[in-house]
Amino acid sequence: MKKILLFCLTLLPVLCMAQDYDFAKKIGGNTLYFYITSTGGKNGATVEVTYPGASEEAPWKSFARPSGQLAIPEKVTPDRAKGRNADPEDDDTTIYTVTSINYFAFSGCDRVTRLVIPASVKQIGEGAFAGCRKVEYIVVEAPTPPRMDESAFDGVDLDIPLRVPAGTFELYKDAVGWRMFTEIIEY
């Protein structure tokens, strides 16, 4: 009994530092972290981009922060998903659609200079890009503006170009969060 108790006490700190992501993938020189939101079914397998650390107060502590161009993929295949939501039936052939960017996902990533958000992203969480103060421009590929918290881009210069698909200027100009950008350009 003492051995079991000792083992549990030894394991407790490791469990408390559990990762908040299901898999990581190197994309364009940056490692991105993903949380599985659905493993399939009618709507297909989906993920959200998240931060690697165990707390939102220091989401990138002990991890290499993204830099340069941060191009979030529309679809991603894990090398191996082992996190808490991973389906043991899934393997490295499962293709996940990226549907959201978690709160504080890139908070404090102050070396990101360009940002590309794919059309598949439907939601951007609170403080997702807070403190990304070196971003020079943002490209959003979604024909419908993703829902986002107004604090998603706290600390980002809102006078930088926000590039959106042709014919969507009015939608972005009127959308919560997106309307804060002063230079919305259709491409």
Domains of the chain: 20-186 (3.80.10.10)
Rounded to whole angstroms, the Cα distance separating 34 from 23 reads 5
Q: Return the pLDDT at 11.
A: 37
Reported for 170-173, long-range contacts at CB under 8 A and 24+ positions apart, including other chains, are 171/144, 171/145, 172/140, 172/145
Helix segments in the chain, DSSP class H: 2-16, 169-174
Strand partners, 163: 139, 185
Q: Return the pLDDT at 57.
A: 83
- Max mean pLDDT among 73-82, 88-97, 125-134 falls in 125-134
Mean pLDDT in residue range 161-178: 98
Strand partners, 111: 67
Q: Return the pLDDT at 20.
A: 76
List, for residues 24-59, the tens digit of each pLDDT value: 999 999 999 999 999 887 678 999 999 998 888 889
pLDDT of 12 above 80: no
Q: Return the pLDDT at 44.
A: 85
List, for residues 99-123, the tens digit of each pLDDT value: 999 999 999 999 999 999 999 999 9
> Which DSSP symbol is given to 179?
G
Rounded to whole angstroms, the Cα distance separating 3 from 116 reads 52
List, for residues 50-85, the tens digit of each pLDDT value: 999 888 888 998 899 999 999 999 999 887 655 555
Q: Return the pLDDT at 87.
A: 56
Neighbouring residues of 109: CB distance < 8 A, sequence distance ≥ 6: 60, 65, 66, 67, 70, 129, 131, 132
pLDDT of 15 above 50: no
| Amino acid in position 173 | K
Q: Residue 122 corresponds to which tokens in the numbers above?
A: 């439907």
Rounded to whole angstroms, the Cα distance separating 99 from 82 reads 20
